[in-house]
Amino acid sequence: MKKLLIIFFLFCPIIFGQNNFFSRREIPVIRPEVQTQFLIHKIQSNYQITYLYKIPFSRIQFEKVNDHFESQFELTIEVKNKENKLVKREFVKDKIISYNFDETISNKKFLENFITLVLTPDTYTFQTIFEDKLTNRQRPQKPLTLELNDSTKKYSPILIEQKIYQNGNSEKLIVANFSGSIPFSKEFYNIIILSDKFENNKNYKVKFFQSDSLYFDKKLMTKSLGIPKFEKQNDFVTVSFDSSLTLNGLVLNDVNKNLEEGFYSVKIFSDDEKELESFKVDVKWFNKPFSLADADFALEMISFIESEQSYSNIFKESLRSEELLKQYWKTKDPTPNTSFNELMEVFYERVDYAESNFRNLSGVSGAKTDRGRTYIVNGNPDRIDRGVNYDGKITETWYYENPKRIFIFVDKRGDGSFKLEQ
Cα 178 off chain centre by: 8
pLDDT the model gives residue 360: 81
DSSP state of 178: S
Per-residue pLDDT of the chain (422 residues; tens, 9 = 90+): 444 444 333 344 433 334 443 345 566 666 778 999 999 999 989 999 999 999 999 999 999 999 999 999 899 999 999 999 999 999 999 999 999 999 999 988 999 999 999 999 999 999 999 998 888 899 999 999 999 998 888 999 999 999 888 877 778 999 999 999 999 999 999 999 999 999 999 999 999 999 888 988 999 999 999 999 999 998 899 999 998 888 999 999 999 999 999 999 999 999 889 999 999 999 999 999 999 999 999 999 999 999 999 999 999 888 999 999 999 999 999 999 999 999 999 999 999 999 999 988 777 899 999 999 999 999 999 999 999 998 889 999 999 999 999 999 999 888 888 999 86
51: DSSP letter: E
pTM for the whole thing? 0.88
Q: Are 397 and 420 in contact (CB under 8 A)?
A: no
| Strands 137-140, 144-148: pairing kind | unpaired
Q: Are 172 and 71 in contact (CB under 8 A)?
A: no
d(CA 178, CA 185): 12
What is the distance, to the nearest Å, from the Cα of residue 118 to the centroid of all Cα atoms in its chain? 30
How much is the pLDDT for 7? 39
Specify whether the backbone of 20 is left (phi greater than 0), alpha (psi in -120 to 50) or beta.
Answer: left
d(CA 410, CA 82): 68
Closest CA to 293 of 360, 355, 340, 369: 355
What span, in angstroms and rounded, lies between the C-alpha atoms of 196 and 269?
Answer: 14
Q: How big is the chain, counted in residues? A: 422
Domain boundaries, the chain: 35-284
> How far, in Å, CA of 77 to CA of 62, rounded?
23
Cα pseudo-dihedral 165, 171, 172, 176, rounded to 10? 40
The predicted structure's pLDDT at residue 234: 86
